[in-house]
Structure 1
Amino acid sequence: MAPLKSPGWDGLHADFFQKQWSTVGPMIVSMIQGIFQGQALETELNRTILALIPKKDSPLSFVDFRPISLCMVIYKLLSKVIVRRLKPIFPSIIEHNQTSFISGRSITENIIINQEVIHSMRQSKLRDGWMAIKVDLEKAFDRVRWDFISDSLLDAGLPANIRRIIMHSVTSSSFQIQWNGILSRPFWPQRGIRQGDPLSPYLFVLVMERLGHLINAAISSGEWKPFRFVRNGIPVSHLFFADDLILYAKALHNQASTIQQVLSTFGLHSGHRVNKRKTEIYFSPNSPPSVQAEISALLEYKQVDRFDKYLGVPVLHARATYTDFNFILDKMKAKLNGWASRTLSLAGRVTLAKSVLAAILVYFMQTCSLPKRVCSEIEKILRQFIWGSSSTARKISLINWDSLCQPIEHGGLGIRKIFDFNMAFVMKLSFALVTALDSFWVRILREKYRMREVCPSTIFQPNSTPLWKAIAAAWDDLKTSLAWSVGTGQLIRPFDDTWVPSLGPLRPFIKHTETAAHIHCLSDLLDAHGNWDASTLLSLFDLEVVQHILNV
């Protein structure tokens, strides 16, 4: 727990409890154990301060504020104990379409899948078009009904005692609004979950899983036609990340009616409401204009020619351009301009430049291949800041950029080159494509680009997304860095895959090509007992190569 996060109404930070644990710890542990044994949570521990954080520079109404709940540290300890118990089971009860707060899943998965779906929609030549809907839920955390949360906990199969503690924590809370340093009179909510409670994100995931169940039921009955990359392929009907929802279906009137009915049913039971003014609908180019107009009139959503961003990352509808990522440069300039470079030492400017690099760039680099011009502009901004240049006074770079980007132990400043940094993330995705075969996004990409072998010799396809082209460009480097760990040998190509690390692919070492023509997988080089067939190996390779193989 962060030691200096905003405290609850008692004014005690987590730092106090951490430093005084020897004194207060036994009492707190005893109290939390008592709650798990059937005691009720004391009302005073569930008092909450509402801090209103402005969403924009000049807020005009209450909707322009984001209410953040400041809970007591003792309550957060109880909440975190429950979260610790929920985390291990969530991957098995939450479907792969949801990635928020699930161990082993990442926000990058949703971004990559959505980009691939939109790309395929744009390329589709089928008679029926496709539609994608970015759904905006009004006050998603604040509107959810408590009885629906209780049903969701029961549906997830959680023990009765855990359900009791969770529901008492949710329903017994009280609020006081903090305004200009003054607390309002307390009031008691009738619905919603608190933003700031460690338990709330996990409860919201369970709530959204119920919407996923409704969608899957509609797919099973044939009412919802989800997007598929190939005939009878993996259905992609929806992606959820917290309250960011995106739905995919055929662009047909009956499909729009089904989506409307599913969302209406979910809203009726959960208390959620779709914000039609902010919800966007995108149609693939092969959707007839008359159908687009008909569906837009039925759903009353805002029709757009393209999605601007999804989860903060640009949705590319064509090749990546400088304009698509210009906002990153603006973010960096705004951040760096907020610091007076002339009042900082060189070491201070380098440290701040690295922090900006880490805070702003890493998120986008995990799912995008930045154009080289963008990389050059970013380095230019960092270079000018490090040497103290400004709009009114330009400074000379005393050391060339390549030298500054060397590791500290080699005499540089440890600044990463942007393009190389980006390619490192691309290589990470490439590695996952051959190692994380059960991951949903990996299955999607392998199906779309027809990767039938675990590690094909090449994966380049001209009609692909910018990210896939970057992965394909890095594929040869990946293959030279990989080596198979031999098991049954049924998936390993004996002459083209690397499974003897010291030698690499063995095709150059083959003596008799006629014998090799009958060997299709590594298991063909094993005898009936699973040991190496020495006679076959000696007929294929020299003794020195065979000795390396026998050491595997």
Structure 2
Amino acid sequence: MSGLKVNFNKSKVFGVGAPSLEVSNWSAPLGCEPSSFPFTYLGIPVGENMNLKKSWRPIIEKFNSKLSSWKAKSLSFDGRVTLAKAVLGNLPTFFMSIFKVPMGVIDTLEKIRRKFIWSKEYNKKSICWIGWEKITAPQKVGGIGLGSIQSLNISLLAKWLWRLQSDSSELWAKVICCVHNLEGRNWSCFASSTSKGVWNNITKIRSMMAKVNIDPKEIVSWNSDRRCWVSEFVIDNTFSVKLFRERLELAGHIVCDGPFNWNKMIPFKILCFTWRAKQGRIPSAIELQSRGITIPSTVCGACKQEEETSDHMLITCQSARTVMNEILNWCEIRCDNFNSVRYMLLFLSRWSKCKKKEKPA
């Protein structure tokens, strides 16, 4: 015997379908406190209807507290993006790995993130310089790689579909198979259509995956040759949520601006500014005027000759061109004058890959 004893002072008695008076009568002899559903166990709500938005209020409140307006004021754009990534990666994952998040909750959380990234003051309307699709899109297709909350939720839940088949001897898997009558049925059947509950909501992610042409067989399928369960997202016998999320994000985002080289040797702050400048989404006079901001004049304040656009400020303005030529000469790079940020980045990308870089004689 281990010698462990039940601490009745810390225990509670619950009744399923029993009146509160009967629960109180049962708890009195044991010296326990009577309680009722829903309750929280190890941070997870038990008996709560997680399809309702009000059940997700703790997560929404934590999001608001972590992504607060005073932090937005003290951080630059790249700092706000980094913090938004960190909050998404830590706060809600425990909940999202068990429950399918309602779309109303996802929209609310995305709104909080969007307002935090673009607005320095919570109650003031601000300019959203770039579409949210490009902010959440993977870096491989030209986005900034913030990632969507919905893709994270689907990826975390997809792991359970793999574990149901690969860990079929576990107690929880046996309970699921028994409740949903899965014994002897086709391996692709994960839940009974007539049953309700958490597991049934988890299996609904298959319809969401179908929208981006992801077959459930990619998550788990039976290999008759090897007589085992296989998956395209398993590394060292462990389902990789990161790999599946990358697949989901790449399938769900198409960015027409082309890829962007997110070089880790360059500070993230510089990369973010360059990424925005490539798309012409920095606060130049022309861009501000097009968004309804009153500007005394759209003419460049440095050269007094052309209108102030992103490309003019950074590339074609005589002052900017002088600085650019000095830098190119110092780096011994020989090239024609650039006419846009996009062309400059394209040239530098090709030049860096050349085996024999052209230098002045």
Paired amino acid for 2:191 = I
Query: Superposition pairs for residues 33-44 of structure 1, below 5 Å?
Result: none
Alignment length, in residue pairs?
222
1:317 positional shift: 3.6
2:93 — aligned with what? 362
2:112 — aligned with what? 381
Q: Does 1:455 align with 2:187?
A: yes
Alignment deviations for residues 52-79 of structure 1 (CA, whole Å, 9 cap, x no partner): xxxxxxxxxxxxxxxxxxxxxxxxxxxx
Is the contact between residue 136 and residue 144 of structure 2 (CA under 8 Å) also seen in structure 1?
A: yes
2:137 — aligned with what? 406
2:7 — aligned with what? 274
1:431 — aligned with what? 162
Query: Superposition pairs for residues 135-154 of structure 1, below 5 Å?
Result: none
Query: The residue matched to 2:34 in structure 1 has which SS?
Result: strand
Query: The residue matched to 2:67 in structure 1 has which SS?
Result: helix
Is the contact between residue 138 and residue 146 of structure 2 (CA under 8 Å) also seen in structure 1?
A: yes
Inter-CA distance 396–275: structure 2 relative to 1 (3 Å threshold): farther
Inter-CA distance 374–289: structure 2 relative to 1 (3 Å threshold): closer
1:313 positional shift: 1.7
Query: Superposition pairs for residues 161-240 of structure 1, below 5 Å?
Result: 210=2
CA–CA distance in structure 2, aligned partners of residues 358 and 427 of structure 1: 17
Q: Decide which of 275, 279, 296 is 2:27's aligned counterpart.
A: 296
CA–CA distance in structure 1, aligned partners of residues 69 and 129 of structure 2: 24
Inter-CA distance 299–414: structure 2 relative to 1 (3 Å threshold): same
Is the contact between residue 431 and residue 478 of structure 1 (CA under 8 Å) also seen in structure 2?
A: no
Q: Decide which of 204, 221, 234 is 1:483's aligned counterpart.
A: 221
Is the contact between residue 408 and residue 414 of structure 1 (CA under 8 Å) also seen in structure 2?
A: yes
1:328 — aligned with what? 59
1:426 positional shift: 1.2
CA–CA distance in structure 2, aligned partners of residues 284 and 360 of structure 1: 31
Query: The residue matched to 2:159 in structure 1 has which SS?
Result: helix
CA–CA distance in structure 2, aligned partners of residues 329 and 318 of structure 1: 16
CA–CA distance in structure 2, aligned partners of residues 292 and 445 of structure 1: 28
1:38 — aligned with what? none
1:490 positional shift: 11
Is the contact between residue 426 and residue 474 of structure 1 (CA under 8 Å) also seen in structure 2?
A: no
Is the contact between residue 282 and residue 307 of structure 1 (CA under 8 Å) also seen in structure 2?
A: no
RMSD: 2.8
Q: Does 1:394 align with 2:125?
A: yes
Paired amino acid for 2:119 = G
Paired amino acid for 1:479 = K
1:454 positional shift: 6.3
CA–CA distance in structure 2, aligned partners of residues 303 and 438 of structure 1: 35
2:73 — aligned with what? 342
- Structure 2: gaps of 5 or more residues: 230-361
2:196 — aligned with what? 464
Inter-CA distance 290–342: structure 2 relative to 1 (3 Å threshold): closer
1:442 positional shift: 1.5
1:451 positional shift: 1.0
1:319 positional shift: 5.2
Query: The residue matched to 1:433 in structure 2 has which SS?
Result: helix
Paired amino acid for 1:408 = Q
Q: Does 1:421 align with 2:159?
A: no
- Structure 1: gaps of 5 or more residues: 1-154, 156-209, 212-265, 268-272, 492-552
1:279 positional shift: 2.8
Is the contact between residue 335 and residue 356 of structure 1 (CA under 8 Å) also seen in structure 2?
A: yes
CA–CA distance in structure 2, aligned partners of residues 430 and 332 of structure 1: 28
Q: TM-score, normalised by structure 2?
A: 0.55
Inter-CA distance 446–465: structure 2 relative to 1 (3 Å threshold): same
Is the contact between residue 319 and residue 465 of structure 1 (CA under 8 Å) also seen in structure 2?
A: no
Query: The residue matched to 1:484 in structure 2 has which SS?
Result: strand
1:370 positional shift: 1.3
Paired amino acid for 2:105 = V
CA–CA distance in structure 1, aligned partners of residues 31 and 74 of structure 2: 54
1:549 — aligned with what? none
CA–CA distance in structure 1, aligned partners of residues 58 and 19 of structure 2: 33
Paired amino acid for 2:15 = F
1:443 — aligned with what? 174
Paired amino acid for 1:322 = K
Alignment deviations for residues 242-265 of structure 1 (CA, whole Å, 9 cap, x no partner): xxxxxxxxxxxxxxxxxxxxxxxx
Alignment deviations for residues 271-304 of structure 1 (CA, whole Å, 9 cap, x no partner): xx7262x53221101x366642321211232222
Paired amino acid for 1:407 = P
Is the contact between residue 69 and residue 121 of structure 2 (CA under 8 Å) also seen in structure 1?
A: no
Is the contact between residue 72 and residue 116 of structure 2 (CA under 8 Å) also seen in structure 1?
A: yes
Query: The residue matched to 2:84 in structure 1 has which SS?
Result: helix
Paired amino acid for 1:365 = M
The alignment-based identity, stated in percent, is 23
Q: TM-score, normalised by structure 1?
A: 0.37
Query: The residue matched to 2:80 in structure 1 has which SS?
Result: helix
Inter-CA distance 488–387: structure 2 relative to 1 (3 Å threshold): closer
Paired amino acid for 2:111 = K
Query: The residue matched to 2:119 in structure 1 has which SS?
Result: coil
Paired amino acid for 1:274 = N
CA–CA distance in structure 2, aligned partners of residues 383 and 407 of structure 1: 17
Is the contact between residue 333 and residue 381 of structure 1 (CA under 8 Å) also seen in structure 2?
A: yes
Alignment deviations for residues 446-477 of structure 1 (CA, whole Å, 9 cap, x no partner): 12211113614462433321342231442774
1:342 positional shift: 1.9
